[in-house]
Structure 1
Amino acid sequence: MSDTHAHSVAFVRETEIPPALPPATATGPVKWMRENLFATWANGLLTVAALYVIFLILGSTLPWILGGIWNTDSLAECREALNGVSAACFSVLAERWNQLLFGFKYPPDLYWRPTIAFVLLFAAMAPVLFFDLPRKLLIFTGIYPFLAYWLIWGGTIFAPLLALVGVIAGFLVYNHFVKNSFATGFVGGIVAVFFVWIIGGALIPDTASNNAMLQAVPSRDLGGFMLNMMLGITCVSLSLPIGVALALGRQSDLPLIKGVCVVFIEFVRGVPLITLLFVANVMLAYFFPPGSGVDLFLRVVIMITMFSAAYIAEVIRGGLAALPKGQYEAADSLGLDYAQAMRLIILPQALKISIPGIVNIAVGLFKDTTLVSVISMFDIVGMIRGPILASTEWNGVYWELFMFASILFFVVCYSISQYSQWLERRLATDHH
């Protein structure tokens, strides 16, 4: 056979050709940039302009931050060390970090108590935020508020224990009567709580054992970012169930309950929060019995909770209105009473729809806790505007202090936002 005839025979491969990699323009960072940054000429021009603005900002701020000084005792020494160079004076943070976090009156030797309370907060929040965890962990979640109160404020342990017993008694009474009527169970639970508190308060001895005592810290000594965290967590936790009750009350068929809820919601939403804080500072004490000793912190918590609950009620009412009428009819066809229908069918779906709105209010409320500085409560902004800037050593330092405060608030608010997005994806709020 000739060579020409041998080369004319078709060749059949016995193995597959390995798959080739996709082009660089169809995968990886190049593909992402083409689709998101340079999809059109307009997008490309906007991307270039944005990068130029970012370059200008970083070009002026990064040298200022990286060239900062941390080891001087005053602003004058800091400027002398910089010798005319434009850079940050972070020494104020190194010297006054404890005041920014805990206030200037909280005893330094007791910093471990709010620190432990802050660490335990994550353990208490975990079973609520991540519902795949064992439900038994909710026991610690229920105990945590009373434990944190004892750690931060100190005093006898019998006071938070009495509060815990009262809440448990109220829950048991509510759980017993709610089968007949939601309103009866709610009112009965409230009455049981106050009954236990009043009777137990008379039985608690004035002088408790030293083994059950921690050094007491008055509320006026709380300050710094710790105060913002306490107000934010407490008010959001309290305003959510109150907001649910107000939303249900506004949709009630009973004219009295509906009227009270409507008046409360519309009045609170029509008044600025700063006005309510002034009311808490000046007038709210007159509504309590003489000699009750309700301090400013509790009065502020009441007002901020009322303010937040009114807004949350409207968000939840929107979630309730978004549910199809068939959901209510399905609950009736199953023979469920009002409390069972709300707990098992209606509220889970309404709350799922209302997640973005609730998170938006929670973030706004946490940032609004800085308004307490106008009524002489030394939160982190009050500490900056008051004792720190009023001192001769650091009078004139602004950017470093407010940048530190903004970073703390950003970390907390961004974490809340990211969790809400994860929760929306997990619950698939766009599918009912």
Structure 2
Amino acid sequence: MSDTHAQTVAFVRGTEIPPAPPPYAASGPVKWMRENLFATPANGALTLVALYFIWLLLSSTMPWILNGIWTTSSLAECREVLDGTVGACFSVLTERWNQLIFGFKYPSEFYWRPTLALVLFFFAAAPVLFFDLPRKLLAFTAVYPFIAFWLIWGGTILTPILALAGVAAGVFIYQRFVTQSFAAGFFGGIFAAFLVWFLGGYLIPEGASDNAMLGAVPSRDLGGFMLNMMLGVTCVSLSIPIGIALALGRQSSMPLIKWICVIFIEFIRGVPLITLLFVASVMLSYFFPPESTVDLFLRVVIMITMFSAAYIAEVIRGGLAALPKGQYEGADSLGLDYAQATRLIILPQALKISIPGIVNVAVGLFKDTTLVSVISMFDLVGMIRGPILASTEWNGVYWELLGFAALLFFVVCYGISQYSQWLERRLATDHH
């Protein structure tokens, strides 16, 4: 009787049954392929066609890459070693790497200086790019341009010190007049900085360079990918604040400032960059005093910065126009003046909206630095088209050199793109 009663009592489990794993087809790589590659018959067909073309590309290029030669001293020796087989002549990269990176005139004993400047650049850019870092690190960011200038060009240390003094004077003028007008304070600060730097140049003793700690390197000796990096970093860093000032000046209530900004932006955007580079090479020196010697690098920086600043100004103006009117009214209701409202409320939101456009201009600007090769500046492309391909040892090597140049530019531009996407996610620019 007791056994029968025990069998009729319901069993209640004291612990939960562990969850069963999902079906294999509903998770992992199979799920990803079903959702992204074979979601519909049309997507599946396109995926198979794309895989076929990828296979054709890899089947023709991978043997050429894997059979590459790295140890010969000329193209003729490469062909002798390959003996009719398909293979790349990567020896040109190992033989001329220093010219591709630093140019053919930069002294080899000074290669450590631009290399050190590049390493320090990452430390200087980190507090600006990743704002979670301590703000105290911005002090090194502020002095880095003058350290890099002295490392790359060498010469007397008084030159970067005077430049730093000029920037300090510009910051003082900016803080003094920005309460009246942001654009007026910004451009007044720039004028003060150049005035102090220009007048300070006459105070440097003539023999100061003889006692310099670092050997001087003329600007005409800069070249290779180093020149592209210097132009890209310098012009982007200068064009962003100038573009902000131009965008704000275009919306200014002061007619003179507004029309100066409008005419500048529309004129620069209507002229090709290569035309501006020819102007920098031929005509810009006529705008300086006859006794002054403004080197070509500075003239090119001025023109590229003006070109990119005009485009960035339009991008930021779009961000300003996208802000609702209530943001401006809210700033007025808080009793903020123009400078405070612009700095604390308007610009942060406008810049978040403008991130994709600014990055697009920055990537395009960095790639456009290769145009300086048409005005006899031996950047990476200029080195390939000029001294390397003109030599008898490597005349006829094209794919290896151009592929190396494409790889370097891809790495830099892809890094900029990935950072911008991270920044958009971090700042929640989609406003969800």
> For this structure pair, what is the TM-score category when the shorter chain's length is used for normalisation?
over 0.9
Moved more, 119-128 or 172-181: 172-181
Moved more, 201-210 or 315-324: 201-210
Matched residue, 1:329:
329
Pair 1:71–1:187, CA change in 2 (3 A): closer
- Deviation by residue 1:57-78 (Cα, 9 ceiling, x = unmatched): 1111111101100000100000
Q: Is 2:244 the partner of 1:247?
A: no
Matched residue, 1:392:
392
- Deviation by residue 1:354-381 (Cα, 9 ceiling, x = unmatched): 0000000000000000011111110000
Q: Per-residue deviation at 1:199?
A: 3.9
- Deviation by residue 1:323-377 (Cα, 9 ceiling, x = unmatched): 0011111111111111111111101100010000000000000000001111111
- Deviation by residue 1:71-90 (Cα, 9 ceiling, x = unmatched): 00100000000000011000
Query: 1:197 & 1:321 partners in 2: Cα distance?
Result: 37
Matched residue, 2:95:
95
User: Residue 182 of structure 2 contacts residue 245 of structure 2 at CA under 8 Å; is this kept in 1?
Assistant: no
Q: 1:215 is aligned with what amino acid?
A: G
Matched residue, 2:86:
86
Aligned residue-pair number: 432
Q: Per-residue deviation at 1:172?
A: 1.4
Query: 1:329 & 1:204 partners in 2: Cα distance?
Result: 51
Query: 1:195 & 1:387 partners in 2: Cα distance?
Result: 39
Query: 1:183 & 1:408 partners in 2: Cα distance?
Result: 37
Matched residue, 1:178:
178
Matched residue, 2:162:
162
Matched residue, 1:236:
236
Q: Is 2:314 the partner of 1:317?
A: no
Q: Per-residue deviation at 1:179?
A: 2.3
- Deviation by residue 1:29-73 (Cα, 9 ceiling, x = unmatched): 111111111111111111111111111111111111011000001
User: Residue 170 of structure 2 contacts residue 193 of structure 2 at CA under 8 Å; is this kept in 1?
Assistant: yes
Matched residue, 1:21:
21
Pair 1:339–1:2, CA change in 2 (3 A): closer
SS of the residue corresponding to residue 339 of structure 1 reads helix
Q: 1:135 is aligned with what amino acid?
A: R
Query: 1:63 & 1:428 partners in 2: Cα distance?
Result: 45
Matched residue, 1:276:
276
Matched residue, 2:56:
56
Q: 1:283 is aligned with what amino acid?
A: M
Query: 2:278 & 2:196 partners in 1: Cα distance?
Result: 32
SS of the residue corresponding to residue 208 of structure 2 reads coil
| Aligned ranges 1:33-44 → 2 under 5 Å | 33-44=33-44
TM-score, normalising length from structure 2?
A: 0.97
Query: 1:418 & 1:403 partners in 2: Cα distance?
Result: 22
Matched residue, 1:381:
381
Matched residue, 1:213:
213
Query: 2:335 & 2:16 partners in 1: Cα distance?
Result: 65
Moved more, 211-220 or 276-285: 211-220
Matched residue, 2:291:
291
Matched residue, 1:190:
190
Query: 1:93 & 1:183 partners in 2: Cα distance?
Result: 48
User: Residue 150 of structure 2 contacts residue 160 of structure 2 at CA under 8 Å; is this kept in 1?
Assistant: yes
| Aligned ranges 1:61-140 → 2 under 5 Å | 61-140=61-140
Q: Percent identity?
A: 80
Q: 2:285 is aligned with what amino acid?
A: A
Query: 2:72 & 2:234 partners in 1: Cα distance?
Result: 38
Matched residue, 1:367:
367
Give 5+ residue unaligned stretches, structure 2: none
TM-score, normalising length from structure 1?
A: 0.97
Q: 2:43 is aligned with what amino acid?
A: N
Query: 2:313 & 2:195 partners in 1: Cα distance?
Result: 28
Query: 2:385 & 2:217 partners in 1: Cα distance?
Result: 23
Q: 1:362 is aligned with what amino acid?
A: A
- Deviation by residue 1:75-115 (Cα, 9 ceiling, x = unmatched): 00000000000110000001000000000000011100000
Query: 1:199 & 1:397 partners in 2: Cα distance?
Result: 49
Moved more, 227-236 or 174-183: 174-183
Q: Per-residue deviation at 1:406?
A: 0.4
Q: Per-residue deviation at 1:166?
A: 1.0
Q: Per-residue deviation at 1:188?
A: 3.8
Query: 1:257 & 1:6 partners in 2: Cα distance?
Result: 96
Matched residue, 2:402:
402
Q: Per-residue deviation at 1:404?
A: 0.4
Query: 1:260 & 1:180 partners in 2: Cα distance?
Result: 18
Q: 2:125 is aligned with what amino acid?
A: M
Moved more, 191-200 or 418-427: 191-200
User: Residue 183 of structure 2 contacts residue 248 of structure 2 at CA under 8 Å; is this kept in 1?
Assistant: no
Q: 1:197 is aligned with what amino acid?
A: W
Q: Per-residue deviation at 1:211?
A: 6.0
SS of the residue corresponding to residue 216 of structure 1 reads coil
SS of the residue corresponding to residue 155 of structure 1 reads coil
- Deviation by residue 1:183-226 (Cα, 9 ceiling, x = unmatched): 54335423432342244223222222766431111111000000
SS of the residue corresponding to residue 393 of structure 2 reads coil
Query: 1:181 & 1:257 partners in 2: Cα distance?
Result: 10
Query: 2:72 & 2:411 partners in 1: Cα distance?
Result: 28
Q: Per-residue deviation at 1:174?
A: 1.5
- Deviation by residue 1:398-428 (Cα, 9 ceiling, x = unmatched): 0000000000000000000000000000000
Pair 1:123–1:211, CA change in 2 (3 A): farther
Q: Per-residue deviation at 1:152?
A: 0.4
Query: 2:324 & 2:12 partners in 1: Cα distance?
Result: 64
Moved more, 204-213 or 114-123: 204-213
Query: 2:43 & 2:359 partners in 1: Cα distance?
Result: 31
- Deviation by residue 1:118-174 (Cα, 9 ceiling, x = unmatched): 000000000000000011101110101010000000100000011001101210121
